[in-house]
Amino acid sequence: MRPLAANPDVIRIGNCSGFYGDRLSAMREMLEGGDLDVLTGDYLAELTMLILGRDRMKDASLGYAKTFVRQLEDCLELAVDKGVRIVVNAGGLNPAGLTDKLRTLADTMGVAATFAHVEGDDLAPRAGELNLGTPLTANAYLGAWGIVECLQADADVVVTGRVTDASVIVGPAAAHFGWSRTDYDQLAGAVAAGHIIECGTQATGGNYSFFTEIADLSRPGFPIAEIRRDGSSIITKHAGTGGAVSVGTVTAQLMYEIQGARYAGPDVTTRIDSVALKQEAPDRVLVSGVRGEAPPPQLKVSLNTLGGFRNEMTFVITGLDIEAKAELAQKQMESWLPVRPAELSWTLSRTDRPDAETEEQASALLRCVVRDPDPNKVGRAFSNVAVELALASYPGTTFTSMPGNGSPYGVFTAGYVDAGEVPHVAVLADGTRVSVPPAADTLQLEEVDEPTLPTPIDSRSTRHASLGAVAAARSGDKGGNANVGVWVRSDEEWQWLAHALTVDQLRMMLPETAHLTITRTVLPKLRALNFVIEGILGKGVAYQARFDPQAKGLAEWLRSRHLDIPEEFLV
């Protein structure tokens, strides 16, 4: 095996993609911006697997992230010249097909590079026998050890399908340090580092609540994890790039899309409640103290199904009598439809204000969304009826779009299968197939007992103000659920937050959650609370149950809401 890094005790891993569609130039920026040992990219998300599934329906040779091919066409020679290995999950539903395409690309370019890939995650052909139904896509989340096999066989580029997001970072670290499969603390430390950098610039100031404190956010640099032999790491970025790496930006990404104190994966369960962060220098944050446990015996499976067809029309309602106008439009629309779709829902957004200085500020939006297995029921039979109301409804009737046909929508669900039922195969550059066995030691995932809360602060004068005046937050989607992580920056603020922001208080601040199940996790080392709100996203991102279907703005809505805050924190 060629060494992955010159330093036997540190491996420097950069990231150049946080999603399918991220900054195309990031690969070149990372390769030219400074020293790296490995460059990774995360291209997959729950919604992406549905998009790739639809690509594959049209052309069986597709099913991978096509933008990665363009990046490698631009940067393969540069990466090989600099000795930087590349590990990506861009293979999606077709890692073998993408790898073949890359070999052809390298031959055409005259670049001597070796390619390997990891497969076995695609369970769609066996979905029925595994009791997973009849989904369009069914992909188990594999771990890092197939990547390790590919790197130990000296692959320059490793392509995977649906591995966990952090695995593309854990694999190079495990290969470089020769970790065993039971080095749980080291593996967990690498998972924490991987989770921090896998979403790209979200670790360097993107989507950060206190963004106004960052001097230059015009073009944030992508993050780098300098992972050490003991599993600790330094999170940083290339010198001279925009954004910032701080305890705050790193905390924000740690809180993104987590479920609780235990972060389960196929190789290790990472204890998020053990993570300690320290600002070592400007743009350098130490991540240490991470503890790991044996992984659960089952693997999570991403299941995407075509749920039917969807359409919507949005009425613009201006001026006076907004509620009455909305009631009239709804009553007319529902009575005029020739056939009622299986699902029909209305949302009135009161974006209007009284005595407005512009027409737009005087207008509210009434949104009608329909879904049905039959595309005809949600096509022109629906949208044409809305337009037919134009001269027969409330005064000023108009719409935000022309009538159109419905479009297919997807439904995401999570399945679970025993790890032994899932093949995990590393296909090396010479065609050798190496089978990777599942974890021998496993541990059922259980909830962590709530830690002792800090002593409440003394009763003091308070002011009704926005939570965001004191706290930062980050939110995201997990199937039909959303998580909201909230944290503060001082011990005294933490003494207040831990007692003030209860589940009941959250329900009051976010009325849409009133009848949903909410679970709170306390993370004292991060001065953070994490809330998982079940079912707020309906049947997943592609279902588009809310106008913010990925719950990206949910945390900022919470920060804008008011509660009683000690005045001394509001200086």
pLDDT tens for each residue of 340-398: 999 999 999 999 999 999 999 999 999 999 999 999 999 999 999 999 999 999 999 99
Average pLDDT, stretch 296-301? 98
DSSP category for residue 420: G
Tell me the CA distances in angstroms from 55 to 90, 93, 303, 304, 320, one per residue in order.
Answer: 14, 10, 16, 13, 47
Which residues pair with residue 465 across a beta bridge?
A: 563
320 neighbors 305 (Cβ within 8 angstroms): no
What is the rounded CA–CA span in Å between residue 442 and residue 264? 11
> Six-digit token pair at 101?
């395409």
Phi, psi of 426 (to 5 degrees): -95, 120
pLDDT of residue 1: 83
> Six-digit token pair at 297?
């015996």
Which residues pair with residue 317 across a beta bridge?
A: 364
SS3 347: strand
DSSP category for residue 155: -
Which residues pair with residue 225 across a beta bridge?
A: 13, 235
Phi, psi of 142 (to 5 degrees): -85, 170
169 neighbors 40 (Cβ within 8 angstroms): yes
What is the rounded CA–CA span in Å between residue 240 and residue 226? 18
What is the rounded CA–CA span in Å between residue 20 and residue 186? 29
Q: Which residue in 38, 65, 83, 294 sits closest to 181, CA to CA?
A: 294
Average pLDDT, stretch 165-171? 98
pLDDT of residue 509: 98
What is the rounded CA–CA span in Å between residue 171 and residue 174? 5
Please, which contacts does 277-284 make with residues 24 or more away whose CB atoms are closer than 8 Å? 277/247, 277/250, 277/251, 277/526, 278/247, 279/246, 279/247, 280/234, 283/236, 283/237, 283/244, 283/245, 283/246, 284/234, 284/235, 284/236, 284/245
What is the rounded CA–CA span in Å between residue 306 and residue 135? 8
- 510 Cβ partners below 8 Å, 6+ apart? 533, 554, 557, 558, 561
pLDDT tens, 112-129? 999 999 999 999 999 999
Confidence of residue 282 (pLDDT cuts 50, 70, 90): very high
Confidence of residue 130 (pLDDT cuts 50, 70, 90): very high
Helices (runs of H) and strands (runs of E) counted in the chain? 13, 26
What is the rounded CA–CA span in Å between residue 114 and residue 162? 21
Indicate whether 232 pLDDT > 80. yes
What is the rounded CA–CA span in Å between residue 8 and residue 404? 60
Sign of CA dihedral 334, 387, 352, 312: positive
> Six-digit token pair at 261?
């104190």
Task: Give the chain's domains with CATH numbers.
Answer: 10-295 (no CATH), 305-411 (3.30.70.380), 462-570 (no CATH)
What is the rounded CA–CA span in Å between residue 43 and residue 22? 8
**Intra-chain end-to-end CA distance of the chain, in Å:** 57
pLDDT tens, 515-532? 999 999 999 999 999 999
> Six-digit token pair at 141?
């989340």
In percent, how much of the chain has pLDDT > 70?
Answer: 100
Average pLDDT, stretch 76-91? 98
Indicate whether 111 pLDDT > 80. yes
> Six-digit token pair at 124?
């769609």
Indicate whether 47 pLDDT > 90. no
Indicate whether 33 pLDDT > 80. yes
Average pLDDT, the chain: 96
Largest distance between two CA atoms of the chain: 76
What is the rounded CA–CA span in Å between residue 183 and residue 79? 30
Sign of CA dihedral 253, 255, 259, 262: positive
> Six-digit token pair at 244?
């910032």
| 101 alpha-carbon distance from chain centroid | 27
pLDDT of residue 458: 84
266 neighbors 143 (Cβ within 8 angstroms): yes
Average pLDDT, stretch 131-138? 96
Average pLDDT, stretch 211-240? 97
pLDDT of residue 349: 96
Indicate whether 309 pLDDT > 80. yes
> Six-digit token pair at 472?
């930062």
181 neighbors 439 (Cβ within 8 angstroms): yes
Phi, psi of 129 (to 5 degrees): -70, -20
Q: How many CB atoms lie within 10 A of CB 534?
A: 15
Enumerate the H helices of 389-527 as residue ranges: 491-500, 503-509
What is the DSSP annotation of 533-557? ETTTTTT-GGG--SSSTT-SSHHHH
**Strand bridging mode 85-88 / 38-41:** parallel
pLDDT tens, 414-469? 999 999 999 999 999 999 999 999 999 999 999 899 999 999 988 779 999 999 99
Indicate whether 541 pLDDT > 90. no
